[in-house]
Structure 1
Amino acid sequence: MTSSHTSNLDPAITARLKRTADGLVPAIAQQYDTGEVLMLGWMDDEALHRTLTTGRGTYWSRSRQEYWVKGDTSGHVQHVKSVALDCDADTLLIKVDQVGAACHTGDRTCFDADVLLTQD
């Protein structure tokens, strides 16, 4: 895949990442222009590298034990706009331009199934 994106991830940032015992970091995908939270995926160093270099949301599937690029089968692509590390260095925020549904159920977001609390 040819892309104009290049990974300029500082090795010091990679060293700061706090990973699970499986080497994974949670990655929250958020619509870049509206702030809508779309999904939670998991990334290891290779998935993060692929995301940064291709500009496409790439995740590690814990159930299938393989990498997957969001939209390769569904056509519901994530064009990555930015990637940020939270203050504790244990979560990534991936701001994307989501084409179509983000959830595997066909919903726009994975976070609209059951609302546990709503306050005004």
Structure 2
Amino acid sequence: MSDTESEITRVSTDGRTTIPRGIRERLGVEPGDRVRWSVDGGAVTVEKATPASTHGILLADGVTDEERREVAEELGEYVREKRRGEWGGESTRVNAADTSRSGSDPDSSE
């Protein structure tokens, strides 16, 4: 098999398509696996996603999904605290470059 494999599939009305069997086998994609879709110009790339790439965090091999979720939650809370401190508290200082934000909280839905 060459490095390039190409097949045509149809996209359903709800945006679904089937990864052809030969490509699934070549990538080692099995039911329940996640895949990463990337667009570069007019080309779409599909690759099997690794647990670290699906979470956006690089951790050592052998880390469980539960441990990854805990790290992601801790990191999320850390970022939220930093944002509150930088953009929301009474002690926040706004310089001229920041006035375009109108003092709004980037986490708010407004």
Counting helix residues as a fraction of each chain, which structure ranks higher?
Answer: 2
Report the TM-score, using the length of structure 1 for normalisation. Answer: 0.25
Which structure has the larger Rg over C-alpha atoms? 2
Report the TM-score, using the length of structure 2 for normalisation. Answer: 0.27
The one of the two structures with greater contact order (alpha-carbon pairs below 8 A, sep at least 6) is 1
